[in-house]
Structure 1
Amino acid sequence: MVERSSRISGFYKLTREERIEHVRRFASLTDDETRGLSGGALSLDVAERMVENVIGLMEVPLGIAVNFLINGQDYLIPMAIEEPSVIAAASNAAKMARAGGGFYTSSTPPVMIGQVQLLGVPDPFGAKMEVIRRKEEVLEIANSKDPVLVKHGGGAKDIEVRVLDTPRGAMVVVHLLVDCRDAMGANAVNTMAEAVAPTLAHITGGRPLLRIISNLADRRLARARAVFPKDAIGGDEVVEGILDAHALAKADPYRAATHNKGIMNGITAMALATGNDTRAIEAGAHAYAARYGRYEPLSTWEKNANGDLVGTIELPMAVGLVGGATRTHPTAQTNVKILGVKSASELAEVMAAVGLAQNFAALRALVTEGIQRGHMSLHSRNVAIAAGAEGKLVDIVAERMVQEGVIRVDRARQLIEELKNE
């Protein structure tokens, strides 16, 4: 039986081939899937059919975050990202969270909102009541457009009607609440919204204009919680520092923006790796952060009775396992296999846990050594490469710059010349 433990000591010290072998065994990858991790899995012919005006492919580094224990299950986390230190930080945070039992997650049903905008309605509030009265008729029309989704337990489940006062006058906006099951749902929801628009226009006496999904997926939430024992993270001083850092994010949107960016480092990297819509996820998260009229942090940090740090997070997570690039891109399919998730809800919950881990890692670095020490140490290799270093020279130049505390391209070039002349 294959051991599925994500607790891999010194994973970063292994050669690339050894890391790939760990992942291959963990996820039982085929030879073709394993080869695809090294690039070339996405052909130009497939890319040509995914987007318009194709001229080539843009590669992003793909790494694995280790140590994640979520709801008692081990996960290896594929992350596609160009920023150094993110994957290492997530792995380290997950290791510390294991000392407190790992991450515990939950989620709401995968319900998305389709909006139908109606203009020129003579009696908006009377129209609202009439639409609600004829709800079943509207839902029947919507569900007729996707019998497969309905067969799998999804489909349009309910409606809401809002009367909005806008600079262009009163508008009636109907929300179609659609359970998308394991799909992100944009295509299904948009099709349903367009299908019910003529009926809604007839009912209200208005004119339909926009008929489209909302990316503020506040009916499709993912949540995660973890306890970080104080002894595992550096003691009482670190706990208090993180609480003070969170207090600033709660009070100041300038800090909250960066706080949430750290969360999205992990979530967006996972979304990209699995072929999900990174822009939709980011838009929903940031809108949710401002749902009370003020931009606030997506996570909360507290101290329990034992003095340990407790982190929680809740945010919209519109992700899918069927349709879109998740089913088209070969590497995205392999990454889903590495994760081992069986539903869109499970994927969303794992993403929430990764976001919380990433947030903890950033906060701990900020209140201890500062964010630059670890980040710049890893960034130094990129600087060395940009300066023209190759092979073993990359690590030598990077290490020298870190020792000096000067990480710049001009200094890297000087070091390259000095080392070549020795």
Structure 2
Amino acid sequence: MSVKLFEWYGKFCAAYALEVIVFFLTTVVGAITLNISSPHELCHWAVPCTQSQTEVSSDVVLLTVLRCGTIIYTYMKLKNIWKVGSIFVVGIVCTYTVFSVITFTITLVHFLHKDLVIVSSALPVFLLLIDLSRMTVLTKHCLSVHSIDMLQDYIAEGMGTLAPVLTLDTLVELLLLVNVGGYVQIRQLQQLSCFACLSVIINYIVFSTFVPACLSVLLSVVNKNSQPSANVMLPPSWHDNRFSHTLQDEKGTKKQLFTTRFKVIICLPLFVMHWFRYSIHQGTAMDMQKGFDSVLTLTPEQFFTVILIILLSSKYLLDDGFEIFRRPSLPKITNTALHIATNKPQSNVLSNKRRVISDVDLDTSKCMRPTEKCLELLSIGSDLLSDAEIISLVKAGKLAVYKLESTLQDANRGVSIRRKITSQKLMSTEKCDALNHIPFTGYDFTKATKACCENTIGYVPVPVGIVGPLLLDGQEYMIPMATTEGTLLASTNRGLKALFKAGGVSSCVYADGMSRAPVVQFPTSEKACHASMWLKETANFELVKEKFDETSRFARLQGVMPVVSGRYLFIRFVATTGDAMGMNMLSKGAENALRWIQHKFPDMQVVSISGNFCTDKKPSAVNWILGRGKSVVCEASLPKEIIKTVLKTDIQTLVHLNRCKNHIGSAMSGSMGGFNAHAANIVTAMFIATGQDPAQTVVSSNCITTLEIIPETGNITSNNHTDNVLLITCTMPSLEVATVGGGSSLDPQNACLKLLGVAGSSAPEGKPGDNATRLAKIICATVLAGELSLLSALDSGDLVQSHMKHNRLPKNITVQESDHQIL
């Protein structure tokens, strides 16, 4: 959570860099102009002490040691930065140092009313405590970016790694310095502790806020070569591949030097010490002297002087000195040893937002490690390799491109790398640009790549709207629909409004069974007929059912329908499948049943587990007649007043139109299951929204819409037509839906199912399959609303007008301008 917070804050500062810089500078300058100062003495928490001549002489020695140490420290640090060999690193770090010193000096002089003599004493402490190491790491990491568009993400990733550790270090340092300054009886050491606290605070504020903003501005301004040329997108002018592993190396180094767990533990006693000093009566200097004399031979002044020097020296040794001592042995350390400590997934900031770049961006052969070494590191952790090194393994045939997600254990990074590989295969700028317009950021591909899509390169967003309420069987539902067809939701919503005013829709499911029909082959037609007759016997069916049902907790065989064609036998298994759509259940159960049947008919050969007599994702009479999945019928009665006021038509016209269009017209065209106006529209929109298989709309949109005129009393034999009402029904024999598995498990699609109150499995609280059955009823009822509205629009002439107004907007013209032109 803390990493995400710092990533977000770092990206905010980088994205609004100019605003952050102006605000920061305005605050400092404004404070100077207003002459704002501290109303209290600096570090009033220090114990009062008196100045003596002995202390004055020791102060001179101490300040001299600090100044000399500062000069040596600054020289060694700048020397190490210079050895990096990047003018950008040197320039940015030096700019950061100068700005920090200016901020520190202004704080002392204007805010705390200190003179220049005090400033000269405080600056050595500030320069010793200023965090140049993390500044160098952040700068080098930003210089490794391949594209100027990714600069803000790199800054965010760097802040997410460095800022949490810096925050903990700041807390530990402040607690140490406050305790030292609170207990020590030397005035000069108290002031140095105060200056050190101020230095730590200013360093933290400048690094966490001003630095990401300045990096974003400076690198963007300095870049002179980021605009695309005729065919390629060139990397920034400051791009340096040598720094591609800087952030990973920093993670491992920091854990070896001073673990986070130890820092957290040490904060507790420091806080207790600080609280104890305020809660217990403070003893006199003499009492303190006696206490120390009983334990140590050092005086309190000597003891605290040594502690402060050790703290300042440790800052140098832990953060910088070890680098000098380790440098001669660096060539002997393998890349594996350097990166073992970083065996953690990288931040998702970059894995969620990696843009397609050209071959020039991926040309990092000079800094890539050998293939053998890359394979060795890959076995430890994929985060130890750069994207370019993983791509090199794919090109070398060491890593299959379709296994990127599973091998890297990071689906989003796998998608990003596959996009880069794809961009290299595209031969034209237009195609590369087209790939760039397929989005892939802001989406978690973890579930999708495991169960829904292979070789993923992104996603295609589809607008989702909501209509309703639908009043179905006395319960109200708001219906999510995903579509790119204008006016579809508006039309459906009008039908739902009419149905709601009429009292709602009633529904029932008259059949439930998914089917799978293997095709088997026999040596002769006679044996095929014999097997068919054997399967029709009730006792044999029970044996087959036992073998089928043992493969699943939810699949229950309902019937077997054998059909002979010569020496081929098609066996149509039909079973309930709970809340799952059930194709995998049926296939598994059918395989197990066929293996057992082969013991009875050894010469039977299985040609295919699916023989197209199922029938799946193809129009067929067998599904239209026998049904597949959920067989649903919905009906509603509408009085003539609602039809007139809401739908702008009348009962007799709608009945005549439905007969001519949906029945006679469909019969003339030889339609199979298409005796409706546009059932597939609503089915497809709801299928996409709820994660169903869109290809199964071929079967699921089978629907016959009937409209009848009946008396309001419900007595269809009555001859009194004064109070007639319209009875509309939609019968859908093959709705193939699921609320578990497949696309329904993806977060957005599952959210749409939750809107309907049918997400997931209905067991064990309810009967298995209740959620899927209710979803089928909701879809059928929504289809009924769509049918009612479209037929009314065809009669009133609103169809063409509404599509011309809302679904054919000229390019680059606003809605208001388009409406004006149509009018």
Residue 218 (structure 1) aligned to one of 608, 620, 627? 627
Count, aligned residues: 337
Match of 2:775 in 1: 347
Mapped partners of 1:42, 1:75: distance in 2: 28
Cα pair 1:68 1:74 within 8 Å, conserved: yes
Q: Deviations over 1:299-320 (max 9, x none)?
A: 1111112322211111111101
Matches within 5 A, 1:108-147: 108-120=510-522, 122=524, 123=526, 124-133=528-537, 134-146=540-552
Cα pair 1:110 1:181 within 8 Å, conserved: no
Match of 2:641 in 1: 231
Residue 159 (structure 1) aligned to one of 546, 549, 560? 560
Q: Give the number of the structure whose residues are more often helix, by fraction.
A: 2
The alignment partner of 1:303 has SS state of: strand
Q: Deviations over 1:226-271 (max 9, x none)?
A: 1122111128963222212211221122496886461121121111
In structure 2, do the counterparts of structure 1 residues 256 and 175 end up closer, same or farther at CA, with 3 Å as the change threshold?
closer
Matched letter for residue 366 of structure 1: L
Mapped partners of 1:242, 1:64: distance in 2: 26
Cα pair 1:365 1:371 within 8 Å, conserved: yes
Mapped partners of 1:121, 1:360: distance in 2: 54
What TM-score do you get using the length of structure 2 for normalisation?
A: 0.39
| Residue 129 of structure 1, CA deviation | 2.1
Mapped partners of 1:90, 1:218: distance in 2: 26
Mapped partners of 1:353, 1:402: distance in 2: 34
Match of 1:200 in 2: 597
In structure 2, do the counterparts of structure 1 residues 230 and 361 end up closer, same or farther at CA, with 3 Å as the change threshold?
same
Mapped partners of 1:246, 1:41: distance in 2: 46
Match of 1:376 in 2: 804
Does residue 460 of structure 2 align to residue 55 of structure 1? no
Q: Deviations over 1:120-164 (max 9, x none)?
A: 353233222222342222222212211x22xxxx4223322222x
Cα pair 1:64 1:76 within 8 Å, conserved: yes
Cα pair 1:84 1:379 within 8 Å, conserved: yes
The alignment partner of 2:817 has SS state of: helix
Larger Rg: 2
Residue 665 (structure 2) aligned to one of 252, 262, 281? 252
The alignment partner of 1:272 has SS state of: helix
The alignment partner of 1:84 has SS state of: coil
In structure 2, do the counterparts of structure 1 residues 307 and 402 end up closer, same or farther at CA, with 3 Å as the change threshold?
farther
Cα pair 1:105 1:224 within 8 Å, conserved: yes
Q: Give the number of the structure whose residues are more often strand, by fraction.
A: 1
In structure 2, do the counterparts of structure 1 residues 226 and 110 end up closer, same or farther at CA, with 3 Å as the change threshold?
same
| Residue 170 of structure 1, CA deviation | 4.5
Kindly report the root-mean-square deviation, in angstroms, between the aligned alpha carbons of the 2 structures: 2.5
Higher RCO structure, 1 or 2 (CA under 8 Å, sep 6+) = 1
Structure 2 stretches lacking a partner, 5+ long: 1-439, 617-622, 712-722, 763-770
In structure 2, do the counterparts of structure 1 residues 239 and 336 end up closer, same or farther at CA, with 3 Å as the change threshold?
same
| Residue 201 of structure 1, CA deviation | 3.9
Matches within 5 A, 1:255-404: 260=676, 262-286=678-702, 298-305=704-711, 306-315=723-732, 316-327=734-745, 329-341=746-758, 343-380=771-808, 383-384=809-810, 387-389=811-813, 394-403=814-823
Cα pair 1:72 1:102 within 8 Å, conserved: yes
The alignment partner of 2:739 has SS state of: coil
The alignment partner of 2:678 has SS state of: helix
The alignment partner of 1:234 has SS state of: helix
Mapped partners of 1:40, 1:182: distance in 2: 32
Cα pair 1:250 1:256 within 8 Å, conserved: no
Matched letter for residue 561 of structure 2: E
| Residue 103 of structure 1, CA deviation | 0.8
Matched letter for residue 145 of structure 1: T
| Residue 211 of structure 1, CA deviation | 1.5
In structure 2, do the counterparts of structure 1 residues 199 and 111 end up closer, same or farther at CA, with 3 Å as the change threshold?
same
Matched letter for residue 60 of structure 1: V
Mapped partners of 1:68, 1:234: distance in 2: 20
Cα pair 1:259 1:359 within 8 Å, conserved: no
Match of 2:39 in 1: none
Mapped partners of 1:80, 1:40: distance in 2: 20
Cα pair 1:238 1:367 within 8 Å, conserved: no
The alignment partner of 1:108 has SS state of: strand
Mapped partners of 2:741, 2:512: distance in 1: 15
Match of 1:75 in 2: 477
Q: Deviations over 1:356-388 (max 9, x none)?
A: 1111111000011241112222214xx24xx12
Cα pair 2:632 2:731 within 8 Å, conserved: yes
| Residue 84 of structure 1, CA deviation | 0.7
What TM-score do you get using the length of structure 1 for normalisation?
A: 0.74
Q: Deviations over 1:301-346 (max 9, x none)?
A: 111123222111111111011111101x101111011111361000
The alignment partner of 2:491 has SS state of: helix
Matched letter for residue 197 of structure 1: L
The alignment partner of 1:177 has SS state of: strand
Match of 1:175 in 2: 572
